[in-house]
Amino acid sequence: MTVLLAAVMLPGCKKEKEENNQTGLVLGFSQIGSESAWRIGNTKDIEEQAEAYGIGLRLENANQKQDNQIAAIRRFIAYRVDVIAFSPVVEEGWDNVLMEAKEAGIPIILVDRDINTEQEGLTTCLIGADFYREGVQAAEYLIRKADRLGLEHVNIVEIGGTENSTPMRQRQAGFMDTIAGDSRMHVLESIDGDFLKSRGEECMRYYMEKYGEQIDVVFSHNDEMTIGAIPEIEKAGFKPGKDIIIISIDGGQEAINVLKEGKINCVVECTPKLGKELMETALKLKKGETVDPVIHPVEQVFSDEMNVSQIGPRGY
């Protein structure tokens, strides 16, 4: 039992659930890793939906390494799965392996994140959030908050996600483009926190030491880093959510609890529940049907502008 559990839980391991294959479709899925509650919720959702749809799933966890994802995709090709899906950790460097999949006639679905490629037609579609819009929504909240508080000068520090990843690039672009029109907004510094709690902690410690009371706002690209950052603000003698405005992205249960405590001001939702769309798209591809090139889930914003006590259980 212990050995079985370890095989299921450890990063980098393979999970095969093909016994449940009632549709005759085998889907190979390369997950990035287990860096956040979001990612763990995303993996769980994909497993549950594969089960619900009767799709055989070969799932591999790449432990945050692109090389592991490329090797997993090559194994899926060798195994001749019907459809390959993956969440690319970064945007660059996929052309060769995707060309191999194309030559093998296996359609590719991008889940959650996008890639940058010069070649047309290597992937069929992208199922994932509109990260640019998330950045816009974070900035729009901040502008409204600054109006309500009557702030004339707003100093912002940013804790970004993994460098060269789609959510990092697009959330930053959406946020910066939106505050660009507001002369009160000033970004003191942006650092890459790799979507990890430990990095959120480190970045915030550095920011508190360097800027201290100059900081008005923390814009953090995910809940994990926000949860890491908050104790560092408290250790420096400031009240998160009051002395410093805290804006996060994801909407996992832990961050929503902290929003309810008043230590986070705004959480822009990024849903990890992409499994249903993934299964339906994979089935369409197996039947040779065309699919929409981009599928964005519907998402919302949770903030101190609403009655936060009414936010229900998040499920991740």
124 touches ligand AHR (CB under 6 A): no
- Smaller CB separation from ligand AHR, 44 or 286: 44
Q: What is the rounded CA–CA span in Å between residue 309 and residue 108?
A: 41
Lookup: tokens for 121:
């037609």
Of 16-24, 35-43, 185-193, 299-307, which part binds ligand AHR (CB under 6 A)? 35-43
Q: Which range, of 34-42, 149-157, 278-286, 298-306, touches ligand AHR by CB under 6 A?
A: 34-42
Q: Which of 29, 76, 86, 195 binds ligand AHR (CB under 6 A)?
A: 195
Beta strands in 196-274 (DSSP E): 217-220, 245-250, 266-269
Q: How many residues lie near ligand AHR (CB under 6 A)? A: 13
**Binder among 58, 113, 197, 199 for ligand AHR (CB under 6 A):** 113
Write out the two tokens for 62: 């790449």
Q: Is 228 in the site for ligand AHR (CB under 6 A)?
A: no
What b-and-e string marks burial along 263-282, b requiring 16 or more CB atoms within 10 Å of the CB? Answer: bbbbbbbbbbbbbbbbbebb
Helix (H), strand (E) at residue 85: strand 83-86
Work out whether 170 is an interface residue with ligand AHR (CB under 6 A): no
Please report how close the Cβ of residue 205 comes to ligand AHR at its closest, in angstroms: 21
The angle formed by the CA atoms of residues 39, 157 and 234, to the nearest 5 degrees, is 80
Residue 38: CB minimum distance to ligand AHR, A: 3
272 contact partners, CB below 8 Å, separation of at least 6: 38, 39, 41, 42, 45, 112, 316
Interface with ligand AHR by CB under 6 A: which residues?
35-36, 38-39, 112-113, 167, 195, 222, 224, 249-250, 270
